[in-house]
Structure 1
Amino acid sequence: MIPTGQLSLSGPAEKLDAGHWPVRGDLAHIRLAGRCFVPHYAVPMERKVVSAGAKLFAQNSKDSELRAELGGNSPFNVLDITGDWAWGQVGDDGFVGYVPLAALSGA
C-alpha cells in the first residue's frame, strides 16, 4: 500500500538549471528522486579526471558547447556511459555534461 500523499502532484515543476542539475529526459541522479520525474534514477560512479585534464561538453560531441575545462584529478560522478562518452556531474554540485570516457580514471 502506498502512503497517502506520497505520489500526489503538488504544483508546478521546479525550473532546472540544465548546466548544474544531473537530470535528462530519461535519467536523473538518485538524489533527485521525488523532485524530478524520469523513468530511471542512477547512483553515481565516482571517477577522477586523468592528470592531463579534460573538457566537459553539453552533448556527447566535441562539436557541442564547451561547459568547462576540468583539471586533472577533478572528481566526476558518472551517471551514464554511452559509447565513448560518460554523462555526469563534476563533484556533487558542479557542471553537468559529457566527458570522453578515456579522460576518466577508475575509482
Structure 2
Amino acid sequence: MTTAAAVPTHQLALSGPSECLDAPHWPVRGDLAHVRLAGICFVPHYAVPMPHLLSSPADLKVKPQDDADARETLAAGTTFNVLDMAGGWAWGQVGEDGCVGYLPLDVLEARRS
C-alpha cells in the first residue's frame, strides 16, 4: 500500500504557464475556443472563425437571449468573427481582438473575400 508521503509532491503539482483570462476579450468557453488558443486553453473543440459583417446596428450580448445584458453596441459594417451558430444566435468575437459575445443571426451577412 502506498501512503501519501511516498508520492513525490512534484507529480501532483500543476505547473507551467497560466494566464489570467480577460473573459470579455478571450474567445473561449467551456466547449469551444478560437483555433488560435489551441495550446493555451484546453477545450473539446477549436473553431476557425468565419468573418461576417453586421447588416444593421446590434447589441453584442453576454448570453444568447434578447433580454441579456449588452457588452457594447456594434455599428453596421462591423466585422464579427463567428465561431458557433445555434438557436438563431452566433457566438464570436468583434474583429481579431474585440469583445466576445452573441449576436442574432439575422443581423449578420457572410463577408465576401
Return the offset for 1:12. Answer: 5.6
Aligned residue for 2:53, secondary structure, equals: strand
- Unaligned ranges ≥5, structure 2: 1-13
- Give the letter aligned to residue 42 of structure 2: F
Q: TM-score, normalised by structure 1?
A: 0.87
Q: TM-score, normalised by structure 2?
A: 0.82
Higher gyration radius (CA): 2
Instruction: Indicate whether 1:67 and 2:71 are aligned.
Output: yes
Structure 2 residue corresponding to 1:35, chosen from 37, 40, 46: 40
- Give the letter aligned to residue 49 of structure 2: P
For residues 38-94 of structure 1, the C-alpha deviation after alignment (integer angstroms, 9 at most, x for no partner) is 0000000000011x2111000101211210100010000000001100000000000
- Give the letter aligned to residue 40 of structure 2: R
1:1-107 pair list within 5 angstroms: 10-11=15-16, 13-50=18-55, 52-107=56-111
Quote the Cα distance in structure 2 between the aligned partners of 1:78 and 1:71.
16
- Give the letter aligned to residue 39 of structure 2: G
- Unaligned ranges ≥5, structure 1: 1-8
Higher relative helix content: 2
State the identity %.
Answer: 59
Quote the Cα distance in structure 2 between the aligned partners of 1:62 and 1:39.
28
RMSD of aligned alpha carbons = 1.2
Return the offset for 1:11. Answer: 2.5
What is the total number of aligned residue pairs between the two structures?
A: 98
Quote the Cα distance in structure 1 between the aligned partners of 2:37 and 2:70.
25
